[in-house]
A and B are shown apart, each in its own frame.
Chain A
Amino acid sequence: MPKGEKRTDWRFRIANREALIGCGLAIFNIIWWYGFAYTLGSKPPLEYTYILGFPAWFFFSCIVGFIVMVFLVFLVVKFVLKEVPFDEEEGSEKR
């Protein structure tokens, strides 16, 4: 086990940041999902409006919500995540 002050592996800073992004995405996902389901869905069923055949709460919460999450994950993967080598020799990844 390493003793004393060793500098934190630079890759871990990236990893920590990406873990926080994961939490952020999940929180956003929960709010979106909950928000549409339990506001629009709390009306009496006979007053529901329908979109493409689905009740509006379901359409926004589950179907649009899923598409939005896919889009956000795409943005994160495309623009935020950084490639780092996983093996011990930093920077010189061999295949």
Chain B
Amino acid sequence: MNWEVLIPLLSLLAIIFLIGMWSNRKMKQSSSFLSDYFLGSRELGGLVLAMTMAATYGSASSFLGGPGAAYSIGLGWVLLAMTQVATGYFVLLILGKKFAIVTRKFKAVTLIDFLKERYQSKSVVLISAFSIVVFLFAAMAAQWVGGAYLIQTVTGLSYLGALFLFAVAVLIYVIIGGFRAVAVTDATQGIIMFIGTLVLLIGVVIAGGGIPNIMNDLVTENPNLITPFGNDGQLTAAYVTSFWILVGVGVVGLPQVAVRAMSYRDARSMHRALMIGTIVVGFIMLNMHLIGVFARPVLPGIEVADQVIPLIALETLPPWVAGIVLAAPLAAMMSTVDSLLLLVSSSVVKDVYINYFKPNANREHVKKVSIGFTAILGIVVFLLAINPPELLIYLNLFAFGGLEAAFIWPIVLGLYWKYANKHGAIASMVVGISSYIAIYQYNETYGDLFGVHAVTIPVILSLLAFISFSLIFKKEPYQF
């Protein structure tokens, strides 16, 4: 057991727990359990908002999977990762003020609340809840696998033991705190991530003998590593550019991101979040993925790509610094899992159970059901993560694409197109999800259709479905 690394790592986690408990105490004074547990009473300020978005978004895929891929593929993967800079400003500008105003007017607490009010349709609610549960399960499992790998590398525990440790930490934390705890600690974690990646990048550059030296080593090994096309030319311009949809602009359709766009306190917080978010997301993505590329000459021959970050931190930094730096990805994964857990349980408890089964449940009952359900959910994900898939990034990106195909148009057109109606929304979700799953399977076996990522075509198809079905069943324009 590597105590020099573990002690700083554990104490950081303990601090995060304390923050969660503190915000839980604060929650007792507020009147609406639902709005507070799932949304933090819409009072997030700019810094917290930006950090919580960055932390939710910057998940295991960017912390382990992403750098792992950059390690094997080279600078081309960093280019691909930089498509994510857009999320920092795009989501907040697109959903921005309109979403904030409308969800307040609707008294919506979740994304599904918004869709329910806007489209007035039970089918929309049920399809949404269903896709959130299915796809976010995939995303969560990916995070848990990542967390377990990380703990495993640092502690030398078995995979199962590490997974268990991670699960317990996350669960205690989400259950006691709810959204505000998650958001506030996301902010702490975001700051840790920001500093942690910078320290690690510097460590790796020094260990590699400076950037020109590292580039030289890469060219000597395989010149393709420093081209935009990947180590064996597998990244075509079309494929990389299609990631603008998957991890750039399409992120508007992710429920875990959208829900944050209804939680800011006022326009000023939103403006600050825009600024901070762009800087933080871009900075973290650039650093993390560069670390992956730079790690190659420093520590050649790593077999499991997801372990690149923990191994390189242990290699290049003094143990106690490594402990703090490794708290960054762990923090990222915890916060992602936290928010996903909350989101899944909110879609089931609030959007389905309370809407359709027990509309007049009292506060105590809602609280018990929410907390109980969140706990059960965590345990199920734990069981799923026992058998980890090879590269967790793919699982995570699969979930991303599915959610985007389902939600992007019902959200965006629901906000900005007055003729959007429930027929369009249902058609768009059904077409989006089914074509995504079909094309995803096709791509796995036969290679990428039209050479772009699986999400591209479903996003276009679901747009067409949305517009045509809305126009066929055209009614009077909707006014907020």
B211 contacts A16, CB within 8 Å?
A: no
Number of A-B contacts (CB under 8 A): 152
Cross-interface CB contact of A70 among B96, B97, B282, cutoff 8 Å: B282
Cross-interface CB contact of A12 among B78, B98, B104, B278, cutoff 8 Å: B98
Of chain A, the residue at the smallest CB distance from B267 is A83
> Which chain A residues in 39-95 approach chain B with CB under 8 Å?
41-42, 44-46, 48, 50, 52-55, 57-58, 61-63, 65-66, 69-70, 73-74, 76-77, 81-88, 93, 95
Of chain A, the residue at the smallest CB distance from B228 is A41
Contacts A2-B479, A93-B266 given; does A61 touch B82 at CB 8 Å:
yes
What is the distance, in angstroms, from B242's C-beta to the closest C-beta of chain A? 11
List the one stretch of B24-32, B219-227, B423-431 in contact with chain A. B219-227
Given the complex, which residues of B lie within 8 Å of A30, measured CB to CB?
A: 241, 244, 248
A84 contacts B94, CB within 8 Å?
A: no
A21 contacts B97, CB within 8 Å?
A: no
Given the complex, which residues of B lie within 8 Å of A82, measured CB to CB?
A: 267
B79 at the interface (CB under 8 A from A): yes
A19 contacts B104, CB within 8 Å?
A: no
B94 contacts A19, CB within 8 Å?
A: yes
For the complex, what is the distance from the CA of A41 to the CA of B78, rounded to whole Å? 13
Contacts A66-B286, A83-B268 given; does A46 touch B97 at CB 8 Å:
no
Given the complex, which residues of B lie within 8 Å of A16, measured CB to CB?
A: 98, 416
Of chain B, the residue at the smallest CB distance from A25 is B89
B86 at the interface (CB under 8 A from A): yes
B479 contacts A26, CB within 8 Å?
A: no
B96 contacts A46, CB within 8 Å?
A: no
Contacts A25-B90, A83-B268, A85-B266 given; does A15 touch B212 at CB 8 Å:
no
Contacts A38-B237, A58-B79, A81-B271 given; does A63 touch B286 at CB 8 Å:
yes
Most-contacted residue by chain B among A2, A14, A15, A95 (CB, 10 A): A15
A41 contacts B101, CB within 8 Å?
A: no
Given the complex, which residues of A lie within 8 Å of B223, measured CB to CB?
A: 44-46
Contacts A45-B223, A62-B79 given; does A52 touch B286 at CB 8 Å:
no
Cross-interface CB contact of B101 among A11, A26, A73, cutoff 8 Å: A11
B341 at the interface (CB under 8 A from A): no
Of chain B, the residue at the smallest CB distance from A6 is B479
Given the complex, which residues of A lie within 8 Å of B171, measured CB to CB?
A: none
B215 at the interface (CB under 8 A from A): yes
What is the distance, in angstroms, from B35's C-beta to the closest C-beta of chain A? 14
For the complex, what is the distance from the CA of A37 to the CA of B480, rounded to whole Å? 43
B395 at the interface (CB under 8 A from A): no
Cross-interface CB contact of B286 among A57, A62, A95, cutoff 8 Å: A62
Given the complex, which residues of A lie within 8 Å of B109, measured CB to CB?
A: none
Given the complex, which residues of A lie within 8 Å of B226, measured CB to CB?
A: 45, 48, 55, 58
What is the distance, in angstroms, from B289's C-beta to the closest C-beta of chain A? 9
B97 contacts A84, CB within 8 Å?
A: yes
B86 contacts A26, CB within 8 Å?
A: yes
What is the distance, in angstroms, from A29's C-beta to the closest C-beta of chain B? 6
For the complex, what is the distance from the CA of A33 to the CA of B88, rounded to whole Å? 16
Given the complex, which residues of B lie within 8 Å of A15, measured CB to CB?
A: 96-98, 101
What is the distance, in angstroms, from B231's C-beta to the closest C-beta of chain A? 11
B416 contacts A19, CB within 8 Å?
A: yes
Given the complex, which residues of B lie within 8 Å of A81, measured CB to CB?
A: 267, 271, 274
B108 at the interface (CB under 8 A from A): no
Q: Chain B, 259-271, contact with A by CB distance < 8 Å: what is the 0/1 string?
A: 0000000111001
Cross-interface CB contact of B278 among A6, A18, A69, cutoff 8 Å: A69
Contacts A11-B97, A45-B219 given; does A69 touch B85 at CB 8 Å:
yes
A54 contacts B93, CB within 8 Å?
A: no
B97 contacts A18, CB within 8 Å?
A: yes
Given the complex, which residues of B lie within 8 Å of A74, measured CB to CB?
A: 275
Most-contacted residue by chain B among A2, A44, A83 (CB, 10 A): A83
What is the distance, in angstroms, from A36's C-beta to the closest C-beta of chain B? 10
B105 at the interface (CB under 8 A from A): yes
B266 contacts A86, CB within 8 Å?
A: yes
A37 contacts B228, CB within 8 Å?
A: yes
Cross-interface CB contact of B75 among A26, A29, A58, A66, cutoff 8 Å: A58
For the complex, what is the distance from the CA of A87 to the CA of B43, rounded to whole Å? 12
B100 at the interface (CB under 8 A from A): yes
For the complex, what is the distance from the CA of A42 to the CA of B480, rounded to whole Å? 50
Contacts A19-B93, A19-B98, A70-B278 given; does A55 touch B75 at CB 8 Å:
yes
B389 at the interface (CB under 8 A from A): no
A53 contacts B82, CB within 8 Å?
A: no
Given the complex, which residues of A lie within 8 Å of B215, measured CB to CB?
A: 50, 53-55
Q: Chain B, 96-114, contact with A by CB distance < 8 Å: what is the 0/1 string?
A: 1110110011000000000
What is the distance, in angstroms, from A3's C-beta to the closest C-beta of chain B? 8
A86 contacts B237, CB within 8 Å?
A: no
B278 contacts A45, CB within 8 Å?
A: no
For the complex, what is the distance from the CA of A46 to the CA of B226, rounded to whole Å? 10
Given the complex, which residues of B lie within 8 Å of A2, measured CB to CB?
A: 479-480
Of chain A, the residue at the smallest CB distance from B264 is A86
6 new A-B contacts, CB < 8 A, other than A45-B224, A58-B75, A62-B286, are A8-B479, A15-B101, A16-B416, A53-B214, A58-B226, A86-B100
The 3 closest A-B pairs by CB, nearest first: A22-B93, A53-B211, A45-B223
